[in-house]
Structure 1
């Protein structure tokens, strides 16, 4: 499949080129193309697909090879390389996707310079060559920007896959790790104690005739050791019975165990739970726990390696809970998280959890430094809330419908992940944070198109047209961060051309070029609203807003151009209104198509990210649950076997039955060995049973313990 994807587009370009030239030339006039030129065209059509086929593995080599083939085709007619020229754009896109930013910064200008030289050699006029070179620069910058956006998207998916793989690895090792830890604790806490009791009792029984005082010492030692062993095992069982996997467990224990799971994935959580909030359970504690879990998931994705402070405060008087989760941004030396361009469904989910209890929720960048902060105020639950609020740490069936996963729009400064002057400038100026190459490329393209149209129509007015064209396209730099505001700004800037015409600054032809060619800015803004402003049910009015805005600017241009003089014929205003309705209706379908495309891209992007977040959270939670299940199973076996014998040792010792003490201690020791032997048998993911590293060794107590 990968090979087909590599060859399909290059072969298609070659076929189209051969069909256009020399195919069409041969059909129309066989004398137009000679045999040598046709042969050269066929060779070029074979060389370019071969070069483009390796663009994924060797993008720079592919781009330079394509440019070399185009230079080799200079003796051929201009039509012979018309379609082949698109191969340069394809190769540059692959360079932008597959190569570092510094490589793109070198290869892009080299290709632009080569194309400028080729244009100068092919075209007769220096002005035409300069115009084509300018257009090529805009195209190259746009393609490079799109490629960098694609590179960031793919990098985000790879990072998400690595996070998920790490979480899966931790989940697979969770039960094994818990077995080893508990085996060490059981061995240290009880095994050598029971062995000491057995050895001491046997020695006292053997030497009882010669040293009768050993019997009393052995009984006292067995009673004390049995009580110590039973107390230690009871404490261990009580500890193993509590877990974040248990919805009835106190909030403090659940949050502490959850943070330990994220610690294994590279975060550095610091949990601070007020004493009043530690024992909380119920809907309020459930909502607080879910908000903390989703906030930790976001921190793991967008600020890996950071310190995350979790503070839970509860007021005993009214039962309210205040939750604060904040991080310091990505740790030094750790790459920042992926750019977040969705609509914040996770933020919406956390807010819904808070508002379901009549609480409040806020999330955003920290005002006191780098990082992100989540705050929630959860009032005490009333009986109505206790009946209606979900009492499960897992999402409901409706919440699990795709796409739903903990997701929040992250800090804009993390969007600039490339190096270069724009990145450093963005770090210094707050208004420029989050801008990247693709933003500049889109804005430059939207500004260049009307200027090129003016150059073609009225070259002398090109300099004058630059100001309204740049002002019209400049808001597109922030189309991701504030799409609605950008749309309003673009629609407002579209009135510069009618105003310039009305005040005599611009000629009618120049104003018409600015309005018609400048409509690209409106199209980009409409797409941005659909892709970045929110769900489709919120952004659909953008179609009517954009169509109406374009219609009004066109009517203003028509009015400034003197169409109101038709009022003398009795139909000026009515004609303008009729034209406005017609023009607005004509604008509506393309605006709807652009908005629909943006909404579809947004839906796909959120679906992918929702699945990633859902899988990551579920995997971390499964690791916690599996460790808890292992503890619960071991606790059941301890209560059923070892604890019973440890208590019996104490009872026999208090009754003075030394033989019974030895028998119960042996039975407890045997049960402990069986339990530890079971812990040594570990099933790996492949299904094969292997032995763990934990072993039990019978330890002989110090000689003084016998006396």
Structure 2
């Protein structure tokens, strides 16, 4: 339920009322106010009603907006202009903004339409259609900008509230994440290793008792122990070899450092190199790139333990390339070599192909091994961005050609088509580099107008350029939607100033005018007047960003810090389990496989091989039980 009015709610209405009263009194004292006393009193009463209603704007935004709009419309209908001040329209704007913040757009937009419809008729006789249309258009843009600003404020308040709620429960989230990871590890360890090691120990002990009477059972037990032991090692490596089941919610360049740091804690030197401009990736592409690094690091630890590893991420145009290279192994055989399942690279190749990418693997130039995956950054099946780009390009090229005042020759038509195409060419890149796309379109417009002043281009072609300014508006929207989280406000100012400059150059180049460069400079400065008309386009882009969930830098820093804290808890659990496994279970399971392989290669000494394999399985089981008991008894403070 919305709260009642407070001191802060009354401050702005009091300011509006005070400003209105001071204006009326000063007008009466100076003789500028020719309104009668009752008209002035009625005007003050209307402002008092609006101000009183505004104090309840947070609790009841719809009735307050209706009251403010009614007071403004009634005052304009009953009172002369000399009895009015901007206080009543300002009250309507405040009420509309609050309505946009507190209620959904389906209520705020009709409110903006009502406020626009209440625009008064222009004073004076004659045909008022033109001035009325101008006032209606200006009012519609102003009210639309207010609604967009309110909805942007609402989205940010909602995101901040959710963020603060998560921040307040950070410790609980940290404990929950660590507990969930601990339970997952304990469950998977029991399922993947416990049963298999028990089976090896039981079968090995049975074969050892019957080794003299039924020697064929010894071979079966050794074969089973070697095969299942390799599977256990592979499963343990995939379970806790510095990787999580999922890469988390962060961007690729944010989730890779913990992955690499985990391997470094196990003694493998890892270098992470990120090049290009990091950007958001489609979820499937991000997970695939993460899996490539994950599997490659696991293989490096298994087959090239101790060799340095370099992980490289290259953001290119339309794709991202992930490369993992490990150095040459100093020893002829690493402790875990030959213990994999053989399906890792095949699975990665299939996964890369499923998102439209490709993966290669092979020996490096200086020895070692290199895995490289090139993945498209646009998810398959996203047809609508291409459709929007095609529509915009058509609107910025074909439509201006159809609206030219005279019929150009084929050569002129071709040249004009090239100019329009160059002007609209940056649009497809507006999502990746919005500021650059806007700058290029503005630069082409200025160059076009300058060439027209110099006589290089016909004056009539400027009409086509005017219709092609849809490109600048689309790029301005992209700056708000896809540009940096802050400091995008210069964009509408730049569009307004450049628009004024282009208009000034057009006036200078007009054969029917005798204007000079001074006129062009004046119109360039007057381009600032157009900035309020451009604000709704920019604000719509900001609202698109907010609805997409892309917050500001402060919000991103808080989310990153929270993710780090939660990730640290999960990583600590995984590292603790990994250390325990490598110190006991993995070591004894590796010894188990070695004994089994030795018995298979030397049939005359199978009793010793069975004994060693069975003892290693039992020791690994003991270590596993101790680790599981420790996990079960541990809880974060």
The TM-score normalised by the length of structure 2 is 0.51
Equivalent in 268, 271, 287 of residue 313 of structure 2: 287
2-side partners of 1:329 and 1:160: how far apart?
A: 30
Superposed, 1:80-91 pairs within 5 Å as 80-83=83-86, 84-91=88-95
How many angstroms apart in 2 are the aligned matches of 1:68 and 1:541?
A: 38
Question: Are 1:185 and 2:188 counterparts?
Answer: yes
What's the secondary structure of 1:82's corresponding residue? coil
User: Once the 2 structures are TM-superposed, how far is the Cα of residue 637 of structure 1 from its aligned partner?
Assistant: 0.7
For 2:631, which of 679, 686, 698 is the aligned residue? 679
Partner of 1:109: 113
Secondary structure (helix, strand or coil) at the match of 2:313 reads helix
2:581 counterpart of 1:638: yes
TM-superposed CA distance for 1:199, in Å, is 8.9
Q: Say whether 1:140 aligns with 2:96.
A: no
Q: Secondary structure at the match of 1:246?
A: helix
Match of 2:441 among 456, 464, 485: 485
Rate the CA distance shift 1:3–1:190 in 2: closer, same or farther, 3 A. Answer: same
- The C-alpha deviation readout for 1:523-555, integer Å capped at 9, x for no partner, is x99x9699679999x999999977875665565
Task: Measure the CA separation in 2 of the matches of 1:232 and 1:292.
Answer: 39
Matched, 1:246 2:272: no
**Does structure 2 conserve the Cα–Cα contact (< 8 Å) formed by 1:51 and 1:66?**
yes
> How many Å separate the matches in 1 of 2:200 and 2:360?
48
Cα distance 1:427–1:141, how it changes in 2: closer, same or farther (>3 A)? Answer: farther
* Contact 1:94/1:147 (8 A) holds in 2: no
- Tell me by how many angstroms 1:108 deviates: 3.1
Give ranges in structure 1 of 5+ residues lacking alignment.
256-260, 297-306, 332-368, 372-410, 414-425, 434-474, 504-517, 564-575, 689-707
> C-alpha separation between the residues in 2 aligned to 1:236 and 1:52?
66
Offset, 1:58:
4.6
1:168-179 equivalences under 5 Å are 175-179=178-182
Residue 27 of structure 2 corresponds to 24
Tell me how far apart the structure 2 counterparts of residues 493 and 212 of structure 1 sit (CA, whole Å).
97
Question: Partners in 2 of 1:643 and 1:174 — Cα distance?
Answer: 26
| Distance in 1, Cα, partners of 2:192 & 2:199 | 12
Which residue is 1:347 aligned to? none
Q: Distance in 1 between matches of 2:387 and 2:148?
A: 15
CA distance in 1, matches of 2:634, 2:42: 68
Name the counterpart of 2:72: 70
1:562-598 Cα shifts (integer Å, max 9, x gaps): 68xxxxxxxxxxxx68x67xx8499679879989x99
SS of equivalent residue, structure 2 residue 260: coil
| Offset of residue 658 of structure 1 | 12
TM-score when normalising by structure 1? 0.47
Aligned residues: 483
CA contact (8 A) 2:201 2:614 kept: yes
Q: Which residue of 1 aligns with 2:415?
A: none
- Report the CA distance between 1:137 and its aligned residue: 1.4
CA-to-aligned-CA distance 1:193-237 (integer Å, 9 cap, x gap): 666789999999xxx9xx999999999999888767754543344
Q: CA RMSD in A?
A: 7.0
Unaligned runs of 5+ in 2: 244-255, 275-279, 301-306, 323-353, 397-423, 460-465, 600-605
Match of 2:410 in 1: none
Q: Report the equivalent of 1:234.
A: 233
Q: Is the CA contact 1:48–1:69 (under 8 Å) kept in the aligned structure 2?
A: yes
Q: Residues 488 and 105 from structure 1, CA distance in 2 versus in 1: closer, same or farther, beyond 3 angstroms? A: same
How far apart are the structure 2 equivalents of 1:488 and 1:649?
73
Contact 2:360 2:372 in 1 (8 A): yes
Task: For 1:185 and 1:236, locate their aligned partners in 2 and report how far apart those are by CA, in whole Å.
Answer: 9
Q: Distance in 2 between matches of 1:625 and 1:308?
A: 30
Distance 2:102 2:521 in 1: 43
* Residue 16 (structure 2) aligns with: 13
Q: Deviation per CA, 1:355-410, whole angstroms, max 9, x where unpaired?
A: xxxxxxxxxxxxxx345xxxxxxxxxxxxxxxxxxxxxxxxxxxxxxxxxxxxxxx
What is the 5 A alignment of 1:453-602?
Answer: 482=438, 484-485=440-441, 489=445, 552=505, 584=521
Kindly indicate whether the alpha-carbon contact (under 8 Å) linking 2:93 and 2:146 is maintained by their aligned counterparts in 1.
Answer: no
Q: SS where residue 374 of structure 2 aligns?
A: strand
Displacement of 1:286:
0.6
Residue 436 of structure 1 is matched in structure 2 by none
After superposition, the Cα gap between the structure-2 partners of 1:191 and 1:586, relative to the gap in structure 1 and judged at 3 Å, is closer
